Amino acid sequence: MTDASQRAAPSGSPLRRAAIFVALVVLAGLFLAPTVGVIFSAFKTTRDISLGELWSIPSRLFLGNFAVVLEKPEIYVYLRNTFIVAISASLLSITLGSLAGYVFAKLPFFGSELLFLLFVSGLFFPPQIVLIPLFKMFNGMGLIDTLWALIIVHTAMGIPICTLLMRNFLISVPDALRESALVEGVSEWRILLFVVLPISLPALAVLATLQFTWIWNDFLWPLIMVQSDEKRTVMLGLVFLRGQYSVAWGIQGALALLASLPTLLVFLFFQRYFISGMTMGAVKG
C-alpha cells in the first residue's frame, strides 16, 4: 500500500517540488486570512472588536471569552448532543448509502438508473421546504425535542450524497472481484462486507469526513426539532449567544474555534484512509 503523498516521488524534479511548495504556501496564506480573523476575534473582547480593532495583531491574548464558554455547563451538554447526533447519523447514512450504492453499481436492474436519479434528487431542494412536513411528522410521532428526530433527519438527508458517492466509486471497482467471489460461493452480503467495502475505504473515509462535518455544523434542523436546552446542539448554542439587541463577537469566536476542532480532528483521522493501489492489489492477488 502506498500513501497518496508518496506516489509521485520518482518524478518530481527539485525545481518542480519547490514551485509546488511555494504555490501551496501562497494559497495557504490566502486561505488562512479569514481563519486568523476568527482566531483574533476569540482572543479579543467584544468591545474591542466593536471599536474596529479586529484586524490588529493582539498585544495580549484575552482569555476571557474561552473562560466564559468553558464555564457554561450547557456547552458540554450541547457538545455531547452534537456528538451523539453526528456520529449516529453519519454511521447510519453511510451504511444505507453503501447498501444502495452497491446495488446501483453492481446489481443494476431495469429502472435502477431512474431509482438512482430519484435518490440523487434528494439533493435538489433546499431543506427549508421540508421543515413543516417533517415537523408535523415528528410531532405526530412524539419525537419533537428528542435527539432521535435529528438523527433520523440527518440520516435520511444524507442518503442521497452517500449513495451518489458510493455508487460512483463502486462502479470503478472491477466486476471481476465480485464475480470471482461469486464463483467461490460467497454470498452477496459477504461480498459487500468483506470484499468490496475494504477496498472502498477511501470513499468511506471521504463520506465519514463530509457527513460528520455537515451534520456537526448543521443549524436548521436543531432549530426546528429541538425546543429545550438539554437537547440543543452546539451550533444553536453558538448562534443564540447573540441577543436581540446585543452582540457577542468574542465569545462566538471562541466557541466557533472550539466547535471546529471535532470536525478538523475527524478530517485528520480519516486522512490515512486515502490509500491507493488496493484495487490493483486485490485483482492481482
Partner 1 sequence: MATRENFWRFALLAAPVSVFAVFVLWPMFDSFRYSLTDWNGFDDSPRFVGLENFRRIFTDPLFFNSLINTAIWMGAALAVPTIGGLALALLLDSRVRGARIFKSIFYLPICLASVVVGQIWIWIFQPDWGLLNEAIRSAGHLSPKQFHWAWLAEPRTALACVILAWSWQQTGLNMVIFLAGLTSIPSELLEAAAIDNVPDWKKTLYIVLPMLRPATAVAVALSMIGALKTFDILYIMTGGGPFHSSDTLALFMYNESFQKYKMGYGSSISVVLFLICVVIIVAYFRQVGKLGEIYD
Partner 2 sequence: MDPWVILRRCGTAVLASALILAANVAWAAENEVTIMHYFTADIGGAGLHPIFDKFKKETGITVVDSPIGHEDYKTGILVRAAGNSLPDIFSEWAGARTQFVVDTGKLEPLDALWAAQKLDSVVAKPVAASATIYNGKRYLIPIGYHYAAVFYNAKVLKDAGVTTTPKTWDEFVSMCKTLKGKGVTPFALGTKNRWPGQFWFDYLLLRTAGPEYRAKLVAGKASYTDPEVKKAMALWKDIVDAGFFGENSNADDWTDAADKVAKGQAAMTLMGTWITGYWTQNGLKAVEDYDFFDFPTVDPSVPRVAVGPVDGFVISAKGKNLEGAEKLATLIISDVDLQINWAKTQGALSPNVNVPTSAYTPVMERAKESVATAAAFNFNYDLANPPSVADVGLNMFAKFMGGTNDINALLEETQKEAADAFKK
Residue ranges that bind partner 2, judged by CB under 8 A: 46-47, 50-52, 128, 131-132, 135-136, 139, 144, 223-224, 227-229, 239-248
CB of 202 to partner 1, least distance (A): 4
Q: Which amino acid is at 31?
A: F
Q: Which of residues 78-137 bind partner 1 (CB under 8 A)?
A: 96-97, 99-100, 102-103, 107, 109, 115, 117-130, 132-134, 137
Write the DSSP assignment of 242-269 as a string of letters: S-TT---HHHHHHHHHHHHHHHHHHHHH
What are the E-state strand segments in 16-171? none
CB of 98 to partner 1, least distance (A): 9
Picked from partner 2, partner 1, none, the partner binding residue 169 (CB below 5 to 8 A depending on kind) is: partner 1
> Of residues 75, 87, 89, 210, which one binds partner 1 by CB under 8 A?
210
- DSSP-derived 3-state class of residue 48: helix
- DSSP-derived 3-state class of residue 137: helix
CB of 191 to partner 2, least distance (A): 44
Write the DSSP assignment of 3-41 as a string of letters: EGGGTTGGG--HHHHHHHHHHHHHHHHHHHHHHHHHHHH
Distance from first CA to last CA of the chain, Å, rounded?
Answer: 13
CB of 151 to partner 1, least distance (A): 11
Picked from partner 2, partner 1, none, the partner binding residue 224 (CB below 5 to 8 A depending on kind) is: partner 2
